Amino acid sequence: MSEQQSEPAKGPAPRRAADSLHLSANKLRWGLLIGALGAVIAAMVTMVVTGFENDTGLEAHQPGSAPVIRDKEFSSANEGDCLSWTKADRSDLVKVNCADKHLFEVAGVVDLSAYPGREFAGGTRHPDSLRMTELRDEHCVPAVQRYLGGRFDPRGRYMVNVMSPSPAGWQHGDRTLRCGLQVAGTSASPAATGSISGQDQSKVHATGTCLGINQNLPTDPVDCAQPHAVEIVGTVDLAANFTGGPPSEADQDKFVEAECNRLSTDYLGSPDAIRNKTLTLFFDYLEPTSWLAGSHKLDCWLGKGSDREGFAPIVGSARGEILIDGQAPVPPPNTGRSTPAPLPGAAPLPPQPKPR
């Protein structure tokens, strides 16, 4: 896999929701995090397949006068087919039933030999990763939108990607690309089950999932005993409360905050657990494009803001003993009233009178 590397962009700090008698959830725009992850997820760019170089995996064709040697499994994959592999070089790529686990769903086929000019003529080099990214954006994004009838969520569970012929196939004249979809991940490509068509594309996780941490930002799911940025305490289905068009930001915030507070109490077993562990609830916002694509769910995240921006590393599930930045959390003094813990860098709360 070829990937572009870029430095994560820094967004503004998470915004604090309105105070309440309980610890308020904090609204964390997924765009800020995934935008901050930048090239790591949403722009985790071009997958250039470089396998299939064994003799049994190649098939010869003779269009016109010049022979074209194609990767057999790859070149027979059409729109709607699902592909999978187990080897790092993808030399064992096969078509599988989309109901089974797979790594790539084909949304369209692009023949670069029809491209004007000499850029992709015989004897030319395979495009580099930057050019493949341009081809992905130019050809594959529209192909995916057509494939899904315009219902693709660019901030959801899936990402657009492109697969190219192997070096051997390219050298022998194959100029076809496969545009498609894969589950967005920051490291390896997670497997999908079922065709994306008709699915809720919401980027949500099972309750109890912990998301790893890299450069103070969430990554892929890890065991909660490993360092992680956030823990999922529940999922909110906005469709249970909103019907019709996309709900406003303010209406979403009010509903999701209340639900996340309720779900966190159920998950941890106590309304005071978050405060005692010095953690904070975070939630996201569904943009109209996501809503119209059919994504209606949001995760409630439990984490700890870092003075270095982003999140502090946590070890252990919030349901038990945890370490934050290597230290056990110290519960704040009980003043007899419930107040939100300050965000990192915020002004300290004024001293509270002692109960008599």
Give 4-55 as a DSSP string. ---PPPP-PPPEE----SSPPEEE--HHHHHHHHGGGTTT----------SG
> 């305490």: which residue's tokens?
233
E-strand ranges in the chain read 15-16, 25-27, 58-61, 68-71, 82-84, 94-96, 101-102, 104-111, 158-163, 176-183, 192-193, 210-214, 217-222, 228-237, 280-283, 297-303, 314-315, 323-324
Quote the number of domains for the chain.
2
In this structure, is residue 224 part of a structural domain? yes
Beta carbons of 17 and 253 less than 8 angstroms apart: yes
In this structure, is residue 348 part of a structural domain? no
For residues 129 and 101, state if they share a domain.
yes
Beta carbons of 35 and 42 less than 8 angstroms apart: yes
The tokens for 40 are 């790591």
Nearest to residue 300, comparing CAs of 223, 217, 227, 208? 208
| Residue numbers of the domain that contains 109 | 55-183
Instruction: Output the pLDDT for position 254.
Output: 95
For residues 62 and 104, state if they share a domain.
yes
Nearest to residue 209, comparing CAs of 296, 325, 302, 103? 302
Instruction: Output the pLDDT for position 340.
Output: 52
For residues 277 and 228, state if they share a domain.
yes
For residues 105 and 79, state if they share a domain.
yes
How far apart are alpha carbons 270 and 266 in whole angstroms? 7
What's the CA dihedral at 270, 274, 278, 283 to 10 degrees?
180
Look up the pTM and report it: 0.74
For residues 178 and 145, state if they share a domain.
yes
Coil, helix or strand at residue 245 = coil
Q: Could you say which of 150, 183, 216 is where a domain stops?
A: 183
For residues 178 and 202, state if they share a domain.
no
Beta carbons of 208 and 231 less than 8 angstroms apart: yes
For residues 175 and 215, state if they share a domain.
no
In this structure, is residue 49 part of a structural domain? no
* Local structure of residue 127 (DSSP, 8 states): P
Q: How far is CA 139 from CA 23, 30, 47, 55, in A?
A: 47, 26, 14, 30
Instruction: Output the pLDDT for position 289.
Output: 94
In this structure, is residue 173 part of a structural domain? yes
The tokens for 273 are 């657990």
Cβ contacts of residue 216 below 8 Å, gap of 6+?
Answer: 229, 306, 308, 309, 310, 311, 312
Instruction: Output the pLDDT for position 19.
Output: 31
For residues 118 and 236, state if they share a domain.
no
For residues 268 and 298, state if they share a domain.
yes
Q: Could you say which of 183, 206, 234 is where a domain stops?
A: 183
In this structure, is residue 10 part of a structural domain? no
In this structure, is residue 48 part of a structural domain? no
Q: Could you say which of 125, 155, 183 is where a domain stops?
A: 183
For residues 208 and 121, state if they share a domain.
no
For residues 305 and 217, state if they share a domain.
yes
In this structure, is residue 59 part of a structural domain? yes
Give the residue ranges of the chain where pLDDT is below 70.
1-70, 187-189, 335-356
For residues 171 and 232, state if they share a domain.
no
In this structure, is residue 191 part of a structural domain? no
